[in-house]
Structure 1
């Protein structure tokens, strides 16, 4: 019994065998707690100052729209230059943004336009940071079969911070105000910058810079559009981001106006979704193979949609926590499964550009959802807005599920080529000179 338990623990944490990954994980983990503390404090500050659901959506739009506009450029940068050095630069600029915000709030000089401008600033930073960071993970994990575990552990780190950060923020805001939250976030970036400076990876062969940036962009887009399975993943992710993810933007309104709570109630609601996401990442980290993740994508999206619908009509705080736990679980299964499949099969020389399009489909679509959700909530109420978003998620996932068998046939030759599945029973030969992306389930 004890031997089996130890075996399962080693399987769950196998990416920690790599020194670089351990440094990255713990440094990033500390920084992400600060990021979530700031995220909650920012949302609460905006709603406290303005009382406007529309402005909540506007601030979120300002933070997220750069991912839609700039992520493709970030992908080119990730493929062309040293990713570790790029990450040190993005984390340093993030520290600067948090420091400016802290000074404005502590001195009482903060105004709504400051919050919109600084949200746009961090949005620009994140538009580069996220695809570069996702592309960098593979450089820290020597064996590709451990990549799925590393991605799942990254998701666990993100969602542990998502659980801890809002809880801490709720207490700090109630006791000391929002300024201390921004100050702590600024300090938290020291950990990740030190960790990145200590990481030592094998030099990556960088491409010839003879091509123009626009040519690299076109090449990356063509690579993705050539394969219907990866297009389907990104399309469903885009629907999910526009229709489902904005529930987080409306959380302060729900906590204050429907549950009649304060910052602590808001923090607990966000944390409940974070705990559900942590449970999902533990489940994914224990998996040995990418096989089976394909069918999880639509199932988890449908589960998320029903959970958000139930949350929208929930009569009380306790049930709301339960439904948000389920929503967080479904959300993380969908995102991490999609990420793992794409990262497993992508060609290394196009990894940055593909992950930038992944980021654009996920984070880049969120601003449109945030702005739309804020405008709809102001007109028809939070509950009906959430119900409409949930219905869209279920519909999009159903379309994906109907086409899953056909997508699976397209990707099977790739998995055969990679040795993930045996060649027996292969139904479709891979096109010469091409790599496909997708799912098997």
Structure 2
């Protein structure tokens, strides 16, 4: 936490939770740094391999397949993962997720050194997606256990600040390592995942959720779905993010833009991947100091509209600096939407259901990132990379207008309560 003294009291118990939250943030930083670096290395490796034997459009489709490989296990496992996070020790689950991601990085390094072809990369991406299916709801449910409820909005913003800082450094670092040696990139990611696992293992606060006896897993999963469906503010915010990111995500095609549109190579690719995180980091810093307190609905819809507009401008840009600026503004707008959604989900949801509700949110939002990359790859196959990104930006703008009509309660929402 930027100001860990905020959580300090005279109580030894509060000191324990303060230390636990610092360890939680340390693991989050190392894990996110590894994930964002690894995403750059994988995408560049796949595009380089595919581009040697395919056209630009076909190679872009191959990059999109990485997203599909991660999306399928995410869809299959996330709801079950939410129920697991509400039944078992969340610290232990988080540690195991980091270890699984560590094994993925080791496998990718071994394939690069001794293997060939793209299918092993897709298989390891599916393993990574399986680990992320359990990681997202567990991490989202664990964080609120480690801070006082009155400080939760600030903790959410600070958690985002830490994640976005790693999101800036990771892609830039991954791009540099791609230019030097992708093997070094995978080795660094493995080391970071090991550090994240160690940080999670050292958390000493009680992270065992209160389990309701006599309730089947199917019943608990159904309760999580019913809760999200019944809360129109939460459902509207989650589904708005889903379709905006699904249609408007341009990150899946950044290797294509870096190599064949802007001609900036792997270093430029890493910088482009970092640009949204730069904007998100600046916005997260503002939200940590001055969280959104009024007119949250209008501000969320405005942010998603800016997200779509920046995606559209990026599609037709021929300037590296202007493209990076569009992505930075896009990232800042996305952070406003993420902050609002996470606050609605975590503040309004009782702790006993946080894993399941976070799982539904992960299924919508986390899966939309991977599926969005696949959608971009498929669309690029028919419209070309520029047409695919432009199509997504227009789609995000249309979704914003439609959702403003479908969810008037979200549009008129005033305060985070």
- How far did residue 366 of structure 1 move? 3.2
Quick one: distance in 2 between partners of 1:110 and 1:94? 21
Could you list the per-position Cα deviations for residues 53-103 of structure 1 after superposition, in whole angstroms to 9, with x for gaps in the alignment? 111111111112322221111110111111011111111111111111112
1:250–1:382 Cα contact (<8 Å) kept: yes
Give the TM-score taking structure 2 as reference length. Answer: 0.91
Task: Say if 1:68 and 1:363, in contact at 8 Å, map to a contact too.
Answer: no
* Offset, 1:226: 1.4
Count of aligned pairs between the two proteins? 401
Distance 1:74 1:46 in 2: 29
Match of residue 426 from structure 1: none
Among residues 159, 167, 175, which one is paired with 1:162 in the alignment?
Answer: 167
Q: In the alignment, what sits opposite 1:76?
A: 83
Classify the secondary structure of the residue corresponding to 1:206: coil
CA contact (8 A) 1:76 1:353 kept: yes
The 1-side partners of 2:231 and 2:28 are apart by 33
Residue 225 of structure 1: aligned partner: 229
Match of 1:240 in 2: 244
In structure 2, the CA distance between the partners of 1:390 and 1:97, relative to structure 1 (3 Å rule), is same
The DSSP-based 3-state class of the residue aligned with 2:252 is coil
The answer for unaligned runs of 5 or more in structure 1 is 1-8, 413-420, 422-438
Kindly report which structure 2 residues correspond to 1:54-93, keeping only aligned pairs within 5 A, or say none: 54-93=61-100
Bigger CA drift: 26-35 or 232-241? 26-35
Shift of 1:368: 3.2
Q: Given that residues 404 and 411 in structure 2 are in contact (C-alpha distance below 8 angstroms), is that contact kept between their aligned partners in structure 1?
A: no
Q: Deviations over 1:271-328 (max 9, x none)?
A: 1111011011111111256544332211110011111111111121111111111111
Query: Using the alignment, how far apart are the partners of 2:70 and 2:406 within structure 1?
Result: 34
| Whole-Å separation in 1 of the counterparts to 2:385 and 2:71 | 21
Could you tell me how far apart the structure 2 residues matched to 1:101 and 1:35 are?
A: 13
Kindly report the root-mean-square deviation, in angstroms, between the aligned alpha carbons of the 2 structures: 2.1
Structure 2 match to 1:174: 179
2:312 is aligned to 309
Superposition TM-score, scaled by structure 1 size: 0.86
| Equivalent residues in 2 for 1:233-382, closer than 5 Å | 233-245=237-249, 247-288=250-291, 290-382=293-385
Q: Which of 190, 213, 218 is 1:214 aligned to? A: 218
TM-fit CA distance, 1:359: 0.4
- Residue of 165, 185, 201 corresponding to 2:189: 185
1:320-369 alpha-carbon deviations (Å, 9 max, x no partner): 11111111111121122211121111122111111000001101233432
What is the alpha-carbon distance in structure 2 between the residues aligned to residue 57 and residue 15 of structure 1? 43
